[in-house]
Structure 1
Amino acid sequence: MKQMTRRKWLRGMFAGGGVTLLAACGGQPSGETTEEAPAADDTAADAPGVVEETGSAVTVTYWGSFSGDLGEAEQAMVDAFNESQDEVVLNYEFQGSYEETAQTFAAALRADTIPDVVLLSDVWWFNFYLANAITALDDLAADAGINFADYQPVLLNEGVRQDTHYWIPFARSTPLFYYNKDIWSTAGLPDRAPETWEEFMEWTPQLIDGDRLAFAHPNSASYVAWLFQGVVWQFGGQYSTPEFGMTMLNENTVRAGQFYGDTTNTMEWAMLSADLNQDFIGGSVASMMASTGGLAGIQESAQFEVGVGFLPQEANFG
């Protein structure tokens, strides 16, 4: 978006009130449990914002969730924006992990001390949507001249409910299949990710060596549901309908779950990992699925060449 467009958007929040939401990917490991968002009135979010006017400028409070290199990059973006103009002062406040930010936001809603913009994982935003705590963006976008067509539709549409936009994608990532190229080469396998799960299962005997297994799954505290959702789609299932009708007992969803369980319990070529990235980097497993957001860090830390590719297919591409 152009600089003036961003300023109009931020100034529009001063008039509109409520909380504007950005949604990032769900692949940030954490052991925290997010508390339920407080129930709100049945009407759309209209809580008073905390935007403050400072002279002729508008101050907008933004709660972020990125740490490390991503956090430094985000802070640099905020600094560059503030230095580029004098109409809006963006007050950036780091709140911790996605879970910690969601917990703090839930508490802020109860105390009526909400920020103006908050970054939440795509895993957690539903709590606040169902609690009517998020401002619809359509009127703000129209006033600011923002065209939603500028965003990738497959990401943007995740935040659309009943033809209304409730968040815009920011720093989104997707799952990747990571593999250890040295192990692949020693096993005599082609230098690529497996095209299908069936093909990968044919490869697993060559990848297992003593205590080293072919693949690792994250545990429940490390976004296994986010990664597994792609596998569910591959098998033709889904977690829920767009309006949150649960379909966990769908035949294909159950079949995907059975497959995941069999990889560790019956076929025994996969393991459940408490630290997915570390087990991969340390050579305990030959491959894993993990976020694109961690690619640079994994490549930097690994003592071997890291290969990546799309996820294996089943009936569909997940």
Structure 2
Amino acid sequence: MLHDVSSAAISRRSLLGLAGLGAGAALLSACSGPSTTSAAGSASAGATGGPSFDGVTPAKTISFWSNHPGSSQAITQSIIKKFKAQSGITVNLVTAGSTYEDVAQKFQSAQAGGQLPDLVVLSDVWWFRYYMQDSIIPLGNVIKAAGLELSDYRDGLVADYQYKGEQWAVPWARSTPLFYYNKNHFKAAGLPDRSPTSWEEFATWAPKLMAVKATTKAKYAYEIPALAGYAGWTLQNTLWGYGGGWSKRNSFDITCDSPATVKALNYFADAVNTSKWAGVASTAAIDDLAAGACSATIESTGSLVGVQKSIGSRFQVGVGFLPGGPVSTKPVCPTGGAGVGIPKGIDKANQLAAAKFIAFLTNPENTVDFSSATGYMPVRKSADTSSLLEKNALIGTAIKQLDVTRAQDWARVFMPGADQEIAKAVAGILTQKADTTATMKSLRSTLEGIYTSQVKPHLN
């Protein structure tokens, strides 16, 4: 499925295991460090560790903390209702915040005192720090007791949560970015009904879109997604297409100031500040696309159903693979999203009930229903997606793009606070016209400082 994601995830998490760190440390530097070796088990082999559940009877009531990714509260409640009818177990769905970060902060606060959940949503960039803090359990024995078979999950997605042969979370609301565009605007501009194959191609399309903005009422041909928090995620696509990145691929060498990365960032700096066919979203670019204020943007697959509902019949929205660049046309799409895990400091009866709910929540039927309601990816191999694709053909594009995804840059995923630093640096370039080379050199220095102060002391 994910061509090179599994091996990348294995090596990066093996590297992380050398650190023995607490809160979200990543082993990134501008020079050499410890070698990486595979420590994760295969998705098909399963995991067998964790506490024993022999003789344990599942609890009758459990709590599930979530931020309802992709506006998923209603569909999750529907699945909970079916689970109660089948198992007799009540699941109390708790809104633990509006973002993954909100849930993470609430969960970390609960470790110091307070009521822990029995099941918690874990984003792809948060679960490992919980492993480091010893606050979640390895799922091998509990999922076996719950009758859950790991081999039926998409290999790349389930392997994202493996370390030292154990499974620490199960994929649930998994996504990739998609290229979204207004088909009416593209038609008015005489453009093909597809996403561009490269950012260079889109640069030739943008003037045509701007030339018809009196008709379309769009302010920009393209809108860059809001920078705060997620610039490091969405911009990886362009950086990779140009042969750059926040850090070297499958390595801990920081490359945010490399010529290729600078060139990629200058593509958008020129588009925003010189050619002026691109803008920077202040909140959600997908909302501006739905309002007709821009002709194209990049957003999570988890926004697909929501944006379709928002647009209604006002215009047709199209989706496609992310554009490539002059160096790489694929794989240039990062994965994202979240899984679910079980806290350590709760009763075994609650842990077993939580595992039984995980099995039901992500079973082949429910993963299709969840995908249909949100746009997130079906996580099971045996899921019958025919009805899903018949109902919403655009989801098929998102599923196909899973085959050309790539593991995220370590500088974005594992450096504590790096996302915020990347966002500030990019904002300086795009909204304040700061020099790209100088800004990226400063960012590299900042990331090296984080490495030196928060990571390097723990390497041994």
TM-score normalised by the shorter chain: which range applies?
A: 0.7 to 0.9
Counterpart-to-counterpart distance in 1, 2:64 and 2:322: 34
Of 151, 154, 165, which aligns to 1:149? 151
Q: Deviations over 1:46-88 (max 9, x none)?
A: xxx9xxxxx97443321121178510110111111011123x4
Equivalent residue for 1:199, pick from 181, 198, 201? 201
Distance apart, 1:192 and its partner CA: 1.0
CA–CA separation in structure 2 for the residues paired with 1:195 and 1:84: 47
Alignment match, 2:162: 160
The 1:56/1:116 distance shift into structure 2, 3 A limit, reads: closer
User: Given the alignment, which residue of 270, 278, 281 partners 1:270?
Assistant: 278
Q: Which residues of structure 1 form unaligned runs of 5+?
A: 1-36, 40-48, 50-54
Q: Is the 8 A contact 1:67 1:96 kept in 2?
A: no
Distance between the aligned counterparts of 1:135 and 1:230, measured in 2? Answer: 34
Instruction: Give the alignment partner of residue 279 of structure 1, picking from 288, 296, 299.
Output: 288
The correspondence of residues 159-238 of structure 1 with structure 2, limited to 5 A, is: 159-208=161-210, 209=213, 212-221=219-228, 223-238=230-245
**Are the counterparts in 2 of residues 38 and 106 from structure 1 also a CA contact under 8 Å?**
no
Give 1:316's match in structure 2, choosing from 312, 329, 347: 329
In structure 2, relative to structure 1, the CA distance for the partners of 1:152 and 1:253 (3 Å cut) is farther
Conserved in 1, the CA contact under 8 Å of 2:157 and 2:171? Answer: yes
| Contact 1:160-1:166 within 8 A present in 2 as well | yes
Q: Please list every run of at least 4 consecutive aligned residues from structure 1 whose deviation after the TM superposition is greater than 6 angstroms.
A: 241-244
Equivalent pairs, count: 269
State the AA in 2 paired with 1:171: A
CA gap of 1:125–1:186, structure 2 versus 1, over 3 A, is same
Partners of 1:299 and 1:306 within 8 A in 2: yes
1:157 shift after superposition: 2.4
Equivalent AA in structure 2 for residue 256 of structure 1: A
Output the CA distance in 2 between the equivalents of 1:168 and 1:237: 31
Matching residue of 2:139: 137
**Which residue in the other structure is 1:16 paired with?**
none
State the match for 1:8 in structure 2: none
Task: Evaluate the alpha carbon distance shift between residue 131 and residue 56 of structure 1 in structure 2; reply closer, same or farther with a 3 A threshold.
Answer: closer
Equivalent pair of 1:217/1:271 in contact (CA under 8 Å): yes
Distance 1:73 1:83 in 2: 16
Cα deviation 1:73-132 (Å, max 9, x = unaligned): 10111111011123x433322212122212211111111532121013324334434434
Aligned-partner Cα distance in 1 for 2:107–2:308: 34
Match of 1:111 in 2: 113
Read off the aligned partner of 1:94 and give its amino acid letter: T
Which piece of structure 1 moves more, 248-257 or 192-201? Answer: 248-257
Residue identity in the other structure for 1:169: P
The alpha-carbon deviation at position 246 of structure 1 amounts to 5.8
Structure 2 gap ranges (5+): 1-21, 25-50, 52-56, 333-460
SS of 1:172's equivalent in the other structure is strand
Counterpart for residue 354 of structure 2: none
TM-score by length of 2: 0.52
Question: Quick check: 1:291 aligned with 2:292?
Answer: no
Which residue, 279, 300, 305 being the options, matches 2:316? 305
Deviations 1:258-317 (A, max 9, x none): 434333234432111113122212222110011122222222222211111111112132
Q: SS state of the match for residue 179, structure 2? A: strand
* 226 and 214 in structure 1: CA distance in 2 versus 1, 3 angstrom threshold: same
Structure 1 residue 170: deviation in Å?
Answer: 0.5
TM-score w.r.t. the length of structure 1 is 0.73
Preserved contact between residue 235 and residue 316 of structure 1 (Cα < 8 Å): no
Q: 1:85 to 1:242 in 2, by over 3 A?
A: farther
Q: What is the aligned-residue RMSD (CA, Å)?
A: 3.2
Q: 1:161 to 1:108 in 2, by over 3 A?
A: same
Q: Does 1:73 align with 2:82?
A: no
Q: 1:168: Cα distance to partner? A: 1.6
* Percent identity (aligned): 35
Alpha-carbon distance in structure 2 between the residues aligned to 1:140 and 1:254: 47
Deviates more, 1:68-77 or 1:253-262: 253-262
Q: Which of the two has greater strand per residue?
A: 1
Q: Is the 8 A contact 1:123 1:226 kept in 2?
A: no
Change (3 A) 1:58 1:243: farther
